[in-house]
Amino acid sequence: MDNTQGSQQGNQQNNQNNANPFQNIKADNFDDTMNSNQMQQNFGQNFNPQNFSGFPPQGAFNPPAGAGFNPGGMIPQPPVTQPPTDDNKPKYTFGKMLNDFKTNIKLPSHNLKFDEVRFLRLLAGSISLTKDEKVKIIKSLPKLSQFQIDELMKILEEEQEKFTELSEKHGEQLEKLERKHVEDWHDIEAAVVAEEKAKQDQSEADEIRKKLGL
């Protein structure tokens, strides 16, 4: 019984270690009341490249031990070799999809000093934030302090750098993740266009009612 419980606890610990290291990141607290400790707690401390030691899962294939004569004079089996790899195939580098980044997203009015184009590119390419969280961060921008936007930019830059480093070994998996988040950003852009169109239509309708005295 003790051995079974110990095994279960060990499996639970392994599952926790391999969990998404960004699963606790939330954008809810990106407002004017958030201090440095809260920012680190809600966003920064979960970003740890060490957590990616188990991502993506390593291959389960292990070739058998080298072939030698087995006891009893049995004829040895030929060694199993792995299929040749295409070393000439270029490896994907994280962030490549957004090299020529352009967007119709316009940030709300603010008094902060930072590179808006760079900020939007990093936010669009972030694979640690959900689509809803990205929208919430954009809308909360006017409430952020200069320190908070500086810290946010630093965190997004670190994410970009660390995943770029991981591209050498996990380029294929990162390419799939990045493609999904680029598609999510396109959804955000489409939603913004629809929202702006609705506001324009409502404004025109209000103007017509004023002219008619309604």
* Residue 24 belongs to some domain of the structure: no
- Residue 56: is its pLDDT beyond 60? no
The pLDDT-based confidence of 149 (bands split at 50, 70, 90) is very high
* Domain span holding position 172: 89-214
pLDDT tens digit sequence for 127-146? 888 989 999 999 999 999 99
pLDDT in tens, 77-90: 555 555 555 555 56
* Of 12-16, 104-108, 196-200, the least confident: 12-16
In this structure, is residue 3 part of a structural domain? no
Nearest C-alpha neighbor of 162 from the set 76, 61, 116, 93: 93
Q: Is 115 left (phi over 0), alpha (psi -120 to 50) or beta?
A: beta
pTM for this model (two decimals): 0.54
Q: What is the mean pLDDT of residues 27-39?
A: 48
Number of structural domains (the chain) is: 1
Residue 57 domain flag? no
